[in-house]
Amino acid sequence: MQMKKYIYIILSIFTLGGVTSCLDNFEEANTNPNKMYNTNIQLVFPGTVYRTLNVFGKMNYVQYLNYSRQLMLLARFINLREGDMDSYYVGFYVNILRDLSEMENQYEKVEGAENRLMIIKTWKALVYSIMASTWGPMPMSDAMMTFPDKKDYKYDSEKDMYIQVLDLLKTATENFNPNPTNEDFLKPDPVFGGNTKSNIEKWRKFANTLRLDVALRIQNIDKNLAEEHIKAAMQHEEWLISSLNDMVQPSWGTDPGNDVSYYYNEALKNLTESNFSSANYPRIAQYFFTYLQSYQDPRLEKFVDPTDPKDRYAVLDTIRIKRISSYSGFDTTMVAIVKHSIPHCPAPELPGIPITWEPGYDPNSNNGQGTDRYQNPYRDIDDKKGWSYVNKSFLKQDTKVVFLNWASTCFMKAEAKLKFGIGSKSAQQYYEDGIAASFAEYGTTDNLSSYMAQDGVKWNTNGKGLSDCMQIYYCDINGANDPFEQIVKQRWIAEYFNGFACWVLDRRTRILNLPPMFYNGSGPGLEGSNDRFEFAPERFIYSINERATNRSEYDKAIQTLQKNSPKGDAASRWGDNLWTHLNFAKVNPALAGADAKWSNRTFIWNQHAIQNQYGKTEEDLIKNAHKEFPQITDTIGLKTYLKYEIVEIVKPR
C-alpha cells in the first residue's frame, strides 16, 4: 500500500481535524434523508492512517527503538523530553482520535455501513492500545473528542482502557462481513487493498489478532478477563493473521513533499557521506546483536547493512587452518590466531567504562608481568562509519510500519497454548511456525533447518550464548527450564524495528532481563533520575500542558497510576515519572540490589560476540567471504579483501 496522491489532495484541502464541509450524496442510501452526515470515511480515514504512521513512527524512532535494546540512536538515548510528549498528545488526540470519534459517532447511525464502522473501531482500538501501554491512564471514555473545547476531561484507568479496547475489538471481529451485498468497504483502502477495495477478511484478522495481543498483554492486570478474550480470539484461528499477506503493515508514500516516511525525513533525506552522524542514525545494539551472533541467525544480514569494506573493524579470531606438514607431507590442522576485517560490528550502549568500574589486568601483558589492564576492543573503531547501521529498507520513503506480523501471531498462539491450553496445535508447533514465518518474512528460509536444530532454538532445549564485550550479559536461552523463555526471545527477534511491541513484551514478561543503561553523569535529565545508570523507562510522562490546563483530572490520573502500579514511585517528579511501572507490567526483578550489583566492578574486555562471523575455519572464511566478495577463492583473496593475516600459530590439532 502506498499513500497515493489521493491522500495528498485530501490533506491539502481539509484541515487536520477532519472534513467538516457538506458532502453531497454522502450515504444517501439507507439513511435518514433529513440527517446531514459531514465526515466521509473515504475522504478522512486515509489521512488518519497517514498521521498515525507519523506519530507512531516518531515515537518508534526517537524512543521505542532505544528501549527495545535492538537498535541505538545516541542523540535520543534515554531522553524522554517534555516537548516530545506535547507533540504526541496533539498528534493522537487532535489529529487522529478526533476524526476517528467523529466518524464513529456518525457511522453508528448509517445502515449498510457496518464494515466501515468496524474499520473505524479497529483503528481506534489500535491507537488506544498503544497509548494505554505507553502512558497508563489516559482520556478515552470522556467527551473530549466530541467537545474539543472541554478542558476537564477525565482519565480512564489502564484497566478500563483495555476493557474498552477489547470491547471495540470484540464488536469489530463479530460484525465484519466479508461478503457485503452493497459497497460497504473502502476504495482505495490505505491498510488492506491499496488502490483496490478493502479486504474485509484481512480487517477481521487484524481485529481478532489485536484482540489476542491485548488479551495476552493484560494477564498481570486481570487473568480471568485475559483468558476470556484469549479463548474467544482463539475460537476462530482462521480469523487470525496466518500469512505474510495478512500482516498489518500500512506504508508511507513516495512524494517527498507530502507523504514519505518519518524515518526517511530523519535519516536519509539529506544524508551525504560528509554529514553522516552516528548519533542520528540507528545502529544495532550489542545485546541484540549478540543473540543473533550466538545462534548464527541469518536474519542479521536483513536487519542491518554491512559496513563499508574500507571502514571495517579488524578482529582477532581463533580458527583452525590446514597446512601441509614439512615433515610428513600430509595436511595438518592447527589452531591459529588470525586478524581480519568483519562485516558487522555492534555498538556498545556506553562508549567507555561505567563510573566506579575498572578493567582487570591482563596476565599476559608486558612480557608476562601482567601489569597492564585489558584494553577496550572497540577503541580503534571509526566511530562515524565502523558500526553496523539499520538496513536502509527500513528507512526508505515508502517503508512499511508493521503493527502486527505473522510470526508474532504464531508466538501469541504458542503462549496461549502453553499457559491456557487453548489452540488446535501444540505450543511447540506454534513456536516453530513463528520462527518459520519470520524467516519467510526476511527471505532466509534456506537456513531455517540448521537454525532450528541448534540448542536453545530447538524446542525445550537450553542454549549457551555469547557475552557482550564487558561480560555483564550472556545470551543464553533456557528452554528446557521454561519454554516460555524461548517464545519470548524469538518473538523479540521477530519484532525487529517494532520498538513498541518489544517495549510491551519486555515489561509484561521480564524474560529478557537486560542490564541497565549506563549514563556516566548524563542521565535523562528529569527529576528523580540517576546519573550513573537507569533501567529502561517503564512509561512515558504526560504532556506538561496537562498539568496547566487539566490539573484536577491530571492529578487524579497520577493517583490512579500510582494506586494500580505494581511498583510505584510517588515521590519522583510528583508521581508522573519514568520509573513507575504500568499496571500491565511485572515488577522488574533486576531492581532488587541493583545499586550494589552495578557498582565497583572489575571486568574483562572481550571480543566474543564479533568473532567467527565468517566461520571457525580458514575454509569457512574463504567460502563465506566469497558470497560477499566473489573474487575471494583462496588465502590470497582473504588478504586482499579482508586484510587477513596469521598472527600466531597456537598449536597443532
Q: How does pLDDT run across 45-100, given as a tens digit for each residue?
A: 999 999 999 999 999 998 999 999 999 886 555 556 666 888 999 999 999 999 99
Question: Which run of H or E residues covers position 411?
Answer: helix 406-420
Output the pLDDT for position 4.
40
Output the pLDDT for position 29.
32
Dist CA 157 CA 563 (whole Å) = 10
Look up residue 544 and give its three cell numbers. 506538561
Output the pLDDT for position 144.
62
Contact present, 529 and 546 (Cβ < 8 Å): no
Output the pLDDT for position 35.
39
Dist CA 472 CA 87 (whole Å) = 37
Query: Mean pLDDT lowest for which of 25-34, 80-89, 261-270, 636-645?
Result: 25-34
- Long-range CB pairs of 573-578 (<8 Å, 24+ gap) are 573/526, 573/527, 573/528, 573/541, 576/541, 576/542, 576/547, 577/526, 577/527, 577/528, 577/541, 578/80, 578/524, 578/526, 578/529, 578/534, 578/537, 578/538, 578/539, 578/540, 578/541
Place of cell 490546563: 549
- Average pLDDT (33-37) is 39
Query: Mean pLDDT lowest for which of 115-129, 255-269, 295-309, 328-342?
Result: 328-342
DSSP 338: E
Place of cell 502486527: 404
Q: How does pLDDT run across 136-150, given as a tens digit for each residue?
A: 999 999 866 556 566
- Long-range CB pairs of 631-639 (<8 Å, 24+ gap) are 638/340
Closest CA to 289 of 498, 444, 71: 71
Q: Decide if pLDDT at 20 tops 70.
A: no
- What is each CA distance from 89 to 85, 95, 196, 302, in whole angstroms? 6, 9, 33, 34
Output the pLDDT for position 519.
75
Query: 520 or 422: whose pLDDT is higher?
Result: 422
Q: Decide if pLDDT at 460 tops 90.
A: yes
Give residues with Cβ within 8 angstroms of 454, minimum separation 6: 295, 296, 463
> What is the residue-averaged pLDDT of the chain?
89
Output the pLDDT for position 517.
85
Buried b (16+ CB within 10 A) or exposed e, 342-378: bbbbbbbbeeebbeebebebeeeeeeeeeeeebebbb
Q: Decide if pLDDT at 264 tops 90.
A: yes
Q: Decide if pLDDT at 27 tops 50.
A: no
Closest CA to 515 of 601, 581, 432: 601
Measured over the CA atoms of residue 155, residue 159, residue 161 and residue 163, the dihedral's sign is: negative
Give residues with Cβ within 8 angstroms of 225, minimum separation 6: 163, 166, 215, 218
Contact present, 579 and 570 (Cβ < 8 Å): no
Query: Mean pLDDT lowest for which of 105-109, 586-590, 635-639?
Result: 105-109
Closest CA to 155 of 551, 570, 513, 645: 551
Q: Decide if pLDDT at 276 tops 90.
A: no
User: Model pTM?
Assistant: 0.92
Query: Mean pLDDT lowest for which of 456-460, 518-522, 615-619, 645-649?
Result: 518-522
Look up residue 222 and give its three cell numbers. 486481570
- Average pLDDT (339-358) is 87
Give residues with Cβ within 8 angstroms of 174, minimum separation 6: none
Residue 211 φ then ψ, to 5°? -60, -45
Provide the 10 A C-beta neighbour count for residue 253: 21
Angle between the N-to-C axes of helices 499-509 and 114-135, in degrees from 0 to 180, rounded to the nearest 10: 60
Taking each continuous run of H as one helix and of E as one strand, the counts in the chain are: 23, 13
Output the pLDDT for position 481.
87
Output the pLDDT for position 355.
86
The domain ranges of the chain are: 276-398+606-652
Q: In what order do the strands lie in the sheet with 331-341?
A: 314-324, 331-341, 645-652
Output the pLDDT for position 534.
83
Output the pLDDT for position 18.
39
Residue 358 φ then ψ, to 5°? -155, 145
Dist CA 523 CA 545 (whole Å) = 23
Q: How many residues does the chain have?
A: 653
Output the pLDDT for position 77.
53
Q: How does pLDDT run across 362-397, given as a tens digit for each residue?
A: 998 888 888 999 988 888 887 777 889 999 999 999
- Average pLDDT (397-410) is 98
Output the pLDDT for position 367.
86
Percent of the chain with pLDDT over 90: 72
Q: How does pLDDT run across 178-201, given as a tens digit for each residue?
A: 999 899 999 999 999 777 899 999
